[in-house]
């Protein structure tokens, strides 16, 4: 941001940008001044992942009769202190009483943080809502929904194929990103045109030869008064122009070529351009391809089927046949770039997989290390590998990975071509939003054109071209655990936190319910709380306390729930007094 003055704008006078005049003429005659268009981010503004945007057109400002389209439906990655929680999804409570007014879900591209929540959210909102998605994303969505036995209506869209949904006209525009088939949307509404510029970069030399349709963007900017530009901003704190995918090619190939033993490459599973490169370079180095991990298997077979990756059967070696090949003739494509503990890579490193990493292996991380919630897990894996003596190539500058997101100049170019009345950065944290704002000021936008709503606020535009951010939604955190669909409540999370911090203390009592008496000594067990053998005095004292409390509270007839609660409360106090710690205390009363 700070460098951009020197690089872009030599005339530092602000407000040089020709201002778009909003006249009645660009709106249909039927539009009333009270008509409104509301944009809500169910994943929260100021968030990178779990993208899900609600566009709501309300004639006469009556949101009880609004018509709705949704853009994207993605998962998020929980913070690292949310124990054992795998995913986070947008809270759709806001749509609960509006379900039958949802006209369609429009998907920009096939990344998990844009499509991954469909399997959880479709059953809630209605499986009949039409979904519009590009070709590759459609294949990913279908594969996922089939696993969960969800049937959905998906229509594949292409370049220059505007889609009508009630009062909305959604015009897809091809852009480049780290996955093929990524689109922006020029969304015409009765209130004005909104440009939904989700994840993108302007890679002028894309490896797959599919170029950003800059002429189409220019046309939108020329022909329409763009009311608001929602723009990706994740790379806004980098000055200049983001490097092309092509720039890593040589380094990447060199690392594969110079490896002496086995090579493992890990990347985002859906990054099929990167897998395509790894396959190509591996083959050139005389290596056969081994895929490890479900998500990579699936992505590569989908990409192969659709022709995005060229791979013959003879190039592939199934895991059970790898011992027939010398180690320097194999390249493994492995899931788990983010260090997820249940991923193939993590298991191979920890010795919990049939393939085990050894010191003669080379492991290449060709993936971002900045996704919120992942960085320390990645470093942990890298540390493990380093300790084992394996060669690790990871995240140094732009050698092995380039971002799929643009830098300042690309955002500046988009904002310049569209010359929109308002700017609303999305897909970044607040520091990126701030950096984007700095960039926008430098290219002649003024501060009052810049919208930065609270995370849970909606932006409501009115027919007179004004807007407000007064409307707020309730935004709970919805966490998804393992492969289960049920959400993890705060109680479960608190329990996990307790277990992680202070361990668990369990007390087993055998109780004769007839006589309301305890049979035998109580049994005290500890996991992660104290080392039993070294703490015999404490354990013995706890046993005495359990007996004492039991005799006080066990009436005749005995109420086991009551006794359990009393013992639990009593032990919590004693343990805290003696040790200053608060392990989870679990009394178990067994009737005999
Ligand atoms: Zn993306």
Asked if 411 contacts 226 with a C-beta cutoff of 8 angstroms, the reply is no
The CATH classification of domain 245-393, taken from the options 3.30.930.10, 3.40.50.10710, 3.20.20.70, 1.10.8.60: 3.40.50.10710
Outline where DSSP puts E strands in 249-328.
Answer: 263-266, 288-292
CATH of domain 503-591: 3.10.20.580
Question: CA 57, CA 39: separation in Å to the nearest integer?
Answer: 9
CA 457–ligand 1 middle distance (angstroms)? 23
CA 187–ligand 1 middle distance (angstroms)? 19
CA 342–ligand 1 middle distance (angstroms)? 23
Give the pLDDT confidence score for residue 441 in this predicted structure: 97
Question: CA 54, CA 230: separation in Å to the nearest integer?
Answer: 13
Asked if 419 contacts 223 with a C-beta cutoff of 8 angstroms, the reply is no
Give the pLDDT confidence score for residue 368 in this predicted structure: 78
Question: CA 564, CA 508: separation in Å to the nearest integer?
Answer: 10
Give the pLDDT confidence score for residue 372 in this predicted structure: 62
How would you label 4-41 residue by residue, b for 16+ Cβ within 10 Å and e otherwise?
beeebbeeeeeeeeeebebeeeebeeebeeebbbbbbb
pTM exceeds 0.85: no
CA 111–ligand 1 middle distance (angstroms)? 5
Give the pLDDT confidence score for residue 497 in this predicted structure: 60
CA 564–ligand 1 middle distance (angstroms)? 51
Question: CA 298, CA 291: separation in Å to the nearest integer?
Answer: 10
Average pLDDT of 41-50? 90
CA 202–ligand 1 middle distance (angstroms)? 14
CA 110–ligand 1 middle distance (angstroms)? 7
Average pLDDT of 289-316? 91
Average pLDDT of 511-533? 80
CA 196–ligand 1 middle distance (angstroms)? 13
Average pLDDT of 392-401? 76
CA 491–ligand 1 middle distance (angstroms)? 33
CA 234–ligand 1 middle distance (angstroms)? 11
- Is residue 200 classed as helix, strand or coil in its secondary structure? coil
- Tell which CATH architecture fits domain 4-15+32-241+403-481: 4-Layer Sandwich (3.60)
How much of the chain exceeds pLDDT 70, in percent? 88
- Within the chain, which residue ranges are assigned CATH 3.60.15.10? 4-15+32-241+403-481
Q: Where is mean pLDDT largest: 66-80, 371-385, 494-508?
A: 66-80
Give the pLDDT confidence score for residue 532 in this predicted structure: 66
CA 412–ligand 1 middle distance (angstroms)? 19
CA 465–ligand 1 middle distance (angstroms)? 30
What's the angle, vertex CA 81, arms to CA 76 and CA 85, rounded to 5?
Answer: 50
CA 461–ligand 1 middle distance (angstroms)? 27
Average pLDDT of 383-387? 92
CA 551–ligand 1 middle distance (angstroms)? 62
Question: CA 186, CA 221: separation in Å to the nearest integer?
Answer: 10
Kindly report, residue by residue over 180-229, the tens digit of the pLDDT.
999 999 999 999 999 999 999 999 999 888 999 999 999 999 988 999 99
28 pLDDT higher than 70? no
CA 200–ligand 1 middle distance (angstroms)? 7
Kindly report, residue by residue over 433-472, the tens digit of the pLDDT.
999 999 999 999 999 999 999 999 999 999 988 999 999 9
- Within the chain, which residue ranges are assigned CATH 3.10.20.580? 503-591
CA 217–ligand 1 middle distance (angstroms)? 19
Task: Return mean pLDDT, the chain.
Answer: 87
Average pLDDT of 387-402? 82
- Within the chain, which residue ranges are assigned CATH 3.40.50.10710? 245-393
Give the pLDDT confidence score for residue 371 in this predicted structure: 65
Q: For residue 109, give every residue at least 6 positions away whose Cβ sits within 8 Å of its Cβ, in sequence order, or none.
A: 134, 136, 137, 177, 179, 181, 182, 183, 198, 199
Give the pLDDT confidence score for residue 147 in this predicted structure: 85
CA 405–ligand 1 middle distance (angstroms)? 8
Asked if 169 contacts 194 with a C-beta cutoff of 8 angstroms, the reply is no
């Amino acid at each position: 941001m700070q460098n951009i003055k020197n690089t872009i704008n030599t005339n530092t006078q602000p407000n040089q940008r020709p201002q778009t005049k909003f006249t009645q003429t660009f709106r249909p005659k039927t539009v009333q001044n009270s008509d409104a268009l509301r944009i809500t981010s169910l994943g929260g503004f100021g968030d990178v992942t779990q993208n899900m945007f609600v566009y709501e057109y309300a004639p006469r400002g009556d949101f009880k009769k609004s018509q709705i389209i949704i853009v994207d439906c993605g998962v998020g990655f929980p913070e690292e202190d949310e124990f054992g929680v795998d995913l986070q999804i947008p809270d759709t409570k806001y749509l609960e009483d509006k379900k039958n007014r949802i006209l369609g879900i429009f998907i920009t591209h096939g990344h998990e943080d844009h499509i991954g929540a469909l399997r959880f959210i479709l059953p809630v909102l209605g499986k009949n809502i039409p979904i519009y998605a590009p070709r590759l994303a459609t294949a990913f969505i279908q594969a996922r929904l089939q696993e969960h036995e969800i049937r959905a209506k998906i229509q594949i869209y292409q370049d220059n194929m505007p889609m009508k949904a009630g009062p909305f006209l959604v015009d897809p525009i091809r852009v480049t990103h780290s996955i093929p088939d990524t689109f922006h949307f020029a969304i015409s509404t009765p209130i004005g045109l909104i440009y939904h510029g989700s994840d993108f970069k302007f890679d002028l030399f894309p490896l797959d030869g599919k170029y950003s349709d800059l002429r189409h963007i220019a046309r939108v900017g020329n022909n329409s008064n763009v009311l608001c530009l929602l723009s990706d901003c994740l790379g806004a704190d980098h000055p200049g122009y983001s490097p092309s995918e092509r720039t890593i090619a040589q380094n990447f190939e060199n690392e594969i070529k110079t490896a002496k033993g086995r090579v493992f490459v890990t990347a985002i599973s859906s990054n099929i351009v990167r897998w395509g490169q790894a396959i190509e370079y591996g083959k050139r180095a005389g290596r056969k391809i081994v895929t490890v991990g479900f998500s990579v298997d699936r992505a590569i077979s989908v990409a192969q089927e659709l022709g995005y990756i060229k791979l013959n059967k003879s190039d592939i070696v199934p895991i059970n046949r790898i011992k027939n090949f010398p180690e320097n003739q194999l390249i493994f494509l492995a899931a788990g770039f983010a260090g997820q503990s249940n991923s193939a890579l993590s298991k191979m490193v920890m010795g919990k997989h049939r393939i085990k990493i050894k010191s003669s292996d080379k492991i290449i991380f060709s993936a971002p290390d900045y996704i919120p919630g992942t960085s320390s897990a990645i470093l942990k894996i890298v540390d493990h590998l380093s300790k084992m003596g394996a060669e690790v190539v990871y995240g140094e500058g732009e050698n092995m990975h380039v971002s799929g997101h643009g830098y300042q100049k690309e955002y500046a170019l988009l904002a310049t071509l569209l010359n929109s009345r308002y700017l609303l950065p999305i897909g970044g944290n607040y520091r990126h939003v701030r950096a984007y704002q700095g960039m926008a000021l430098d290219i002649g936008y003024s501060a009052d054109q810049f919208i930065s709503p609270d995370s849970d606020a909606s932006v409501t535009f009115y027919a007179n071209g004004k807007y407000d951010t007064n409307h707020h939604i309730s935004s709970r955190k919805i966490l998804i655990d393992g492969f289960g669909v049920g959400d993890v409540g705060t109680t479960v999370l608190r329990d996990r936190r307790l277990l992680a911090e202070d361990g668990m203390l369990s007390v087993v009592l055998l109780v004769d319910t007839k006589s309301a008496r305890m049979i035998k000594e109580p049994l005290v067990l500890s996991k992660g709380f104290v080392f039993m053998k070294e703490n015999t005095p404490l354990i013995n004292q706890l046993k005495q306390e359990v007996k004492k409390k039991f005799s006080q509270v066990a009436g005749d007839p005995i109420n086991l729930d009551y006794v359990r609660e009393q013992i639990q409360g009593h032990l919590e106090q004693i343990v805290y007094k003696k040790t200053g710690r608060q392990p989870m205390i679990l009394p178990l009363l067994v009737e005999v």
